[in-house]
Amino acid sequence: MANEKKVDLSTEEEPIEENNSEINSSEEIDVGRIIMYRQIGAKVAYYRTLRRLTQDELARRIRLSRSTLNRIERGRYNGGISLSTLMDIAEGLHIELSHLVSFTDEEKKIWWDVDVNL
């Protein structure tokens, strides 16, 4: 993504180079990606609620631990959500995968305009 905002979560007070295309540290996280994970998680929770499923019920249905599903719904699964997991979630919710990973222009605007308190 062009013009990505970066957040440095390390304890050292070194400035982040804004034009650097490579991530220099595993502790440096792309803010846009964090927001995207949160939006995907909110969509999972939304569709789960529409289907009147608890986290336990959906987790059992897709053979995933409830704690992992909880982290996904809260957008705290920053290590990456596999395509396979997203496909299982969509199947368990009886929705198209695109419902979870498609974003409106307004949702995309949040990636660049929001000042996230991480």
Interval 89-98: pLDDT, tens = 999 999 999 9
Whether 14 maps to a domain, the answer reads no
Q: How many domains does the chain have?
A: 1
Phi first, then psi: give them for residue 49, nearest 5 degrees.
Answer: -65, -40
Whether 95 maps to a domain, the answer reads yes
pLDDT category at 115 given cuts 50, 70, 90 is: low
Provide the CATH number for the domain around residue 41: 1.10.260.40
Task: Give CA–CA dist 8/28, Å, rounded.
Answer: 4
| Structural domain that includes position 70 | 31-113
Whether 39 maps to a domain, the answer reads yes
What tens digit of pLDDT does each residue of 74-109 get? Answer: 988 767 889 999 999 999 999 999 999 998 888 888
* Entry pTM: 0.69
Axis crossing angle, helix 83-93 with helix 31-50, rounded to the nearest 10: 20
